[in-house]
Amino acid sequence: MLVREFLLPDLGEGLTEAKIVEWKIGVGDAVEIDQPIVDVESAKAVVELPVPFAGIIESLCGEPGDTIELGDVLVRVRQISPDGREAELPATQPDAGREVTEHLADADPADAESSEYSGAVLTGYGLHESKARLRRPEGGRFRNRGGAATVSSAEDLAARMPQGASKLLDPTRNSPVMSPLVRREAKAAGFDARHLSGSGRGGLVLRADVRAAIEQLGDTATAVPACDQRGSGESCATGAGDRRIPLDGMRQLVADHMVESHSTVPKATIWLDVDATPLLELRQQLQTATDERFSLTTLIARIVVAALREHPRLNSSFDPREGVIVEHSAINLGLAAQTPRGLMVPVLHGVEGHTLRELRDAVGELVAESKRGNFSPAQLSGGTFTLNNYGGFGVDGASPIINLPQTAMLGLGRLKERPWVVDGELTVRRVMTVSFVFDHRVCDGDAASAFLTYVTDRIENPVLLHADL
């Protein structure tokens, strides 16, 4: 019987793991070449993966919610010959009858029509079988990504071991671990499965190895606090009703991104209260004249685009390696959005050339997609400036963290009726707080204030935009 293993392919941008979101097939199902079989969530996006060969699903190597590494087995597919019978291994194959993993590599696209393999080429999969074997990278494919913090935890655990078991866990050992279940069970017991000596082929750590280690360690395994495993150096106080929520996927990416921005960018925040009543009146006039809907976010985005053309220093990024400011010619406007996958900033590319209707439609598409959060990596990259409407959460203002590598962000607070002086008379107006956070390495307060007042002046007096057309 010939069984092929479909490994998690390279998802691009240096991503090395993904979480299974949903299986679209089950064990025993017949699949065709390029048939979508699973949705996986990386730190960037949810990706639908097609299987690169046809056959019968032999096994699924993970459950929804499981995290799998680059090169881990996703599914095993039993090969079916054109006459409907199970394909057999060649008679000369020395391991005939055993399970076989076939790695596919790039081939001449001209042969695609006659190939039994996928035409939708994934990284690491192609059209023809490759005889080349993958080289093991330095430190192993499952090299320690946790750094010294993980080693420290292993050494601490080794010190607590019963006498005679001190060689069970070796902080310098980096054994291969294929199964997410094995990694998770070891982690729950307080140690890293990679530090065990695996009994499987090629030193692979099996579930039996983890359970044997837990049995030998006894209560010692749970003595190391989970916080120490993450390198905090401090124990975590826990109670009977406490719930531990791991950071993974998009939440982990956001956390890392926020820490980097907060620790490296000398940010400053300024803000102004602005009378948005004239802009709201303009929106009503537009909708009445055109019988079309325009959101307040779209109108302010139009003003922001004009402001960035007038003040290009804020449409920039900072390169700390070369110590230079990069002013971008294109305006790629990011819109901060709360999605089921967490905070994301999808990007509208090239909006400097958009009409108001085009900008409205582009904003509308992003808002609609935010309900699912299934943005592609391309939609989440390349932003040069971010617009953040946190007024929808019922707050007046904020001092947000800059979305690296950008250098500025404009925030919109909630609309609220307030007493306001207009032409010397006290009246009730719709007012909101507009805040602006900027990288002080890129500009000083005068340039940031000029940008903010440019935006707020045109919210209070939209006719000024005509002078910029």
State how far the Cα of 213 lies from the Cα of 192, in Å rounded to an integer: 11
Kindly list the distances between the CA atom of residue 308 and the CA atoms of 75, 313, 378, 386, 448, in Å, as whole numbers in the listed order. Answer: 49, 8, 22, 11, 11
Residue that is written with structure tokens 């032999």 in the block:
58
Q: What is the DSSP string of 258-299?
A: HHHHHHH--EEEEEEEEE-HHHHHHHHHHHHHHS----HHHH
Closest CA to 438 of 460, 421, 455, 463: 455
Closest CA to 345 of 261, 265, 276: 261
State how far the Cα of 452 lies from the Cα of 436, in Å rounded to an integer: 7
**Summary count for the chain: helices (H), strands (E):** 9, 21
Single-letter amino acid, residue 125: Y
Which residue is catalytic, options 262, 311, 440, 466? 440
Q: Which two tokens stand for residue 193?
A: 């499965």
- Whether the CB-CB separation of 327 and 352 falls below 8 Å is answered with no
Residues in a beta bridge with 348: 333
State how far the Cα of 444 lies from the Cα of 59, in Å rounded to an integer: 60
- Whether the CB-CB separation of 32 and 58 falls below 8 Å is answered with no
Residue that is written with structure tokens 């392919």 in the block:
9
Residue 223 CB contacts under 8 Å (≥ 6 apart), including other chains? 157, 160, 190
- Whether the CB-CB separation of 298 and 363 falls below 8 Å is answered with yes
Q: Given the DSSP bridges, would you call strands 55-60 and 36-41 parallel, antiparallel or unpaired?
A: unpaired
Angle formed by the axes of helices 445-460 and 277-290, nearest 10°: 50
Asked about 128 being catalytic, the answer comes back as no
Angle formed by the axes of helices 296-310 and 356-370, nearest 10°: 120
- Whether the CB-CB separation of 141 and 160 falls below 8 Å is answered with no
Closest CA to 176 of 195, 191, 158, 162: 195
Which letter does DSSP use for residue 207 in this model? Answer: H
Taking phi over 0 as left and psi of -120 to 50 as alpha, with beta for the rest, 154 belongs to alpha
Catalytic (active-site) positions = 440
